[in-house]
Amino acid sequence: MLAALLACASCASSGAASGATPAADGGPVRVVASTNVWGDVVRQVAGDRASVVSLISDPDQDPHSYEADAKVQLALAKAQVVVENGGGYDDFVRQMLASAGGSRRVIDAVEVSGKTAPPGGELNEHVWYDLPTVEEVATAVATALSATDPAGATAYQQGATRFIGRLHDLEQRDREIGQAHAGEGVGITEPVPGYLLAATGLVDRTPHAFSEAVEEGTDVSPAVLHETLELYSRKRVAVLVYNAQTTGTTTERVLAAARSAGVPVVPVTETLPAGQDFLTWMGETVSRLGHALDGT
């Protein structure tokens, strides 16, 4: 599949504008990624053939509170390839690109994934927790880079192949967790890890009204909060997967309830912790989840 896509490297990637050209000075391809998660995927594929700017990268900041500025506008205007998450997660990227002028190849991870909102529900835009989507994005990145820098096509294909091979190792670990724990209940504070949990066959028992309110920053009703806390006091879930990057009084009460009941807690984040790459970060998350479920 990867080789077939790269054979069409002259074609634009998802959402791309045709006509993007390599840097006039023959230097690295200029890439802007909306988050350091996607920025690292680009680095894994491109190596030193790309110069990558990741806009949202502070592990202590809620990504939803990110405010773009004139420096971001300039970076996007100069970019030859842009990788955005899409799905409403980073709308500022498209808004700024609309006034940036010029042309560039734009990869929208949600569009690449093909995921849509379920009937009567909302799209879970946290698609970097869906490993098959990450594979598809890596392939799209290799295609876009090859079209922009044809001389590096072989290097991009090799980089993507290496990265995707390691993703498959992670997917195998997900399957192993599923073989041992599919059907067990799990609690969350936000839908951030939803795709990863679904891949292991775990069942999210958190009231939708709770996780939705936390994600949207709205109040959780007393009845919904009570129902959520009972998941832990009555041991209806085997683990709490807790978004450590977006916390508040309500989520801290859930965290305290889990710890009081002896329910193990697995922290997750929306951006890469300092000094980690995507594969290490996601691998550690999968390992923590497995150990928590195994009681080890």
In the chain, domain spans: 2-171, 180-294
HSE-CB of 294 using CA atoms within 13 angstroms: 12
Please say if the pLDDT value at position 20 is more than 60.
Answer: no
Sorting pLDDT into bands at 50, 70 and 90, what band is 25? low
Identify the residue whose tokens are 């958190």. Answer: 206
Tell me the per-residue pLDDT of 143-197, one tens digit each, with 9 for 90 and over.
999 999 999 999 999 999 999 999 999 999 999 999 999 999 999 999 999 999 9
User: What predicted TM-score, i.e. pTM, was given to this entire model?
Assistant: 0.90
Sequence letter at residue 44: Q
CA dihedral of 144, 149, 153, 155, whole degrees rounded to 10: -110
The predicted structure's pLDDT at residue 78: 96
The answer to whether the beta carbons of residues 199 and 131 sit under 8 Å apart is: yes
Picking from 248, 292, 246, 247, the residue whose alpha carbon sits closest to that of residue 266 is 292
Tell me the per-residue pLDDT of 231-248, one tens digit each, with 9 for 90 and over.
999 999 999 999 998 889
Does 2-171 match 180-294 in CATH topology?
Answer: yes
The answer to whether the beta carbons of residues 160 and 136 sit under 8 Å apart is: no
The answer to whether the beta carbons of residues 220 and 130 sit under 8 Å apart is: no
Residues in the chain: 296
Distance of CA 292 to the CA centre of its chain: 22
How many C-beta neighbours within 10 Å does residue 223 have? Answer: 10
Distance CA 117, CA 214 (A): 19
Note the CATH architecture for domain 2-171.
3-Layer(aba) Sandwich (3.40)
Please say if the pLDDT value at position 216 is more than 80.
Answer: yes
Sequence letter at residue 113: S
The predicted structure's pLDDT at residue 60: 67
CATH ID of 180-294, from 3.40.50.800, 3.40.50.300, 3.40.50.2020, 3.40.50.1980: 3.40.50.1980
Q: Where are the beta strands (DSSP E) in 154-281?
A: 185-188, 203-204, 240-243, 265-268
Dihedral sign from CA coordinates of 32, 159, 174, 278: negative
The answer to whether the beta carbons of residues 265 and 255 sit under 8 Å apart is: yes
Q: What is the mean pLDDT of residues 59-77?
A: 82
